[in-house]
Amino acid sequence: MILGADIGGTKTLLALADETGIVCERRYPSREWDDFSALLRAFLDAAAPSVPINAACFGVAGPVDDNRAKVTHLPWVVDGRALAETFRLGKAGVVNDFAAAAQGVTALPPGDLVTLQEGQTATHAPRLLIGAGTGLGVAALIAEGDGWRTIGGEGGHIGFAPADEEQLSVWRHLLQPGGRVTAENVISGPGLAAIYASLCKVSPHNTAIADPAAIAVAAASGNTLAARALDLFIAAYGAFAGDLALLFMARGGVYLGGGIAPKILPRLQQGGFVRAFHERGAHAGLMPGFPIHVITNERLGLLGALSIAAAHTKTLDSHQ
């Protein structure tokens, strides 16, 4: 049996799986628990009190160091070695949640994807995962043997490059003395709110909306300024994805994860994202060849954690 976890400040997903697939899965509100060990104990006591677990992977929303991580928006510390000892796990790994999500891309069925551009998929070429939500995550997958190696990093914190005067106004709105404007400052939930606030400066009679979800709803309901803000957000997102697609030559596919893309899918399908993705100057002719997909499965991180745990099991088996 293997154990997978996707641990975040809002929710935690846990699952047990065997060679046939997932046998038990639960979702928990993270803030209702004092620490992760107590939550894991409750899950295992209910799901499999006496079943041996050969390997586990814990995807954590926070930086990982030496197989342990502090959850960014909770006082939890997830320590792989301590959890392995306490719960008698054969092997327990702690990874960043976006690194786990990247591995989840390899486990997605076609029904969990909506295609924005077919492209020409190269089976063993790099794949790219970009996820706009509360922040902006980036990870690449590189073929290695019969699996995939995750190339993680902090790609969301590269500098934001305005593509037109309207985006330049957003950049000026966000710029702080002595600071810089990152891609995440614009391509994220708070970024969408900042875009709307920037537009309100030149359209002062519009009602202020601070909640990014409310901006998306207003856009769908015919609010002209909210629609403009959402279209600007999508253009910036598409341009960022195009730049990174060229960086990794992600012929295996560009995948949009995170919480925002599925919620604005009808707007993404109108073409603004793909148009901005294509506008790459001398390399514009390459861009129609990259497949682009939106991931609709919110369990991506959990699937990735299970995939990593399964790989750990194979490693253990090879040494027995």
pTM to 2 decimals?
0.86
- With 60 as the cut, is the pLDDT of residue 284 above it? yes
Options 1.10.10.10, 3.40.1190.20, 3.40.50.11720, 3.40.367.20; CATH of 109-296 = 3.40.367.20
DSSP code of 209?
-
- Residue 134 has what pLDDT? 83
Predicted pLDDT at 106: 87
pLDDT tens-digit profile of 14-64? 999 999 999 999 999 999 999 999 999 999 999 977 889 999 999 998 889
Tokens matching residue 206: 């519009």
Are 2-102+299-318 and 109-296 the same fold in CATH?
Answer: no
Local confidence band at 129 (pLDDT 50, 70, 90 cut-offs): very high
Confidence at residue 313, expressed as pLDDT on a 0 to 100 scale: 75
At what angle are helices 36-47 and 80-87 packed, to 10 degrees?
40
For residue range 197-255, what is the model confidence (pLDDT) as tens digits? Answer: 999 988 877 778 989 999 999 999 999 999 999 999 999 999 999 999 999 999 999 99
Question: What pLDDT does 314 receive?
Answer: 65
pLDDT band at 319 (very low <50, low <70, confident <90, very high): very low
Q: How far apart are CA 294 and CA 245, in angstroms?
A: 15
Is the confidence at residue 317, as pLDDT, over 50? no
User: Which CA distances in Å does 202 have to 111, 186, 195, 221, 236?
Assistant: 42, 18, 12, 22, 20
pLDDT of 315 above 80: no
CB neighbour burial string for 130-141, b if at least 16 within 10 angstroms, e if fewer: bbbbbbbbbbbb
Which residue reads 């919480």 in tokens? 259
Q: CA 3 → CA 108, 127, 138, distances in Å?
A: 18, 25, 25
Q: What is the chain's mean pLDDT, rounded? A: 92
Indicate whether 311 pLDDT > 90. Answer: no
Each residue's pLDDT tens digit, 75-84? 999 999 999 9
Q: In the chain, what are the domain boundaries? A: 2-102+299-318, 109-296
pLDDT at 280 over 50: yes
- For residue 73, pLDDT over 90 is answered with no
Domain 2-102+299-318 - what CATH class? alpha beta
Res. 152 pLDDT band, cuts 50 70 90: confident
Distance of alpha carbon 213 from alpha carbon 294, whole angstroms: 18
Residue 147 has pLDDT above 90, yes or no: no
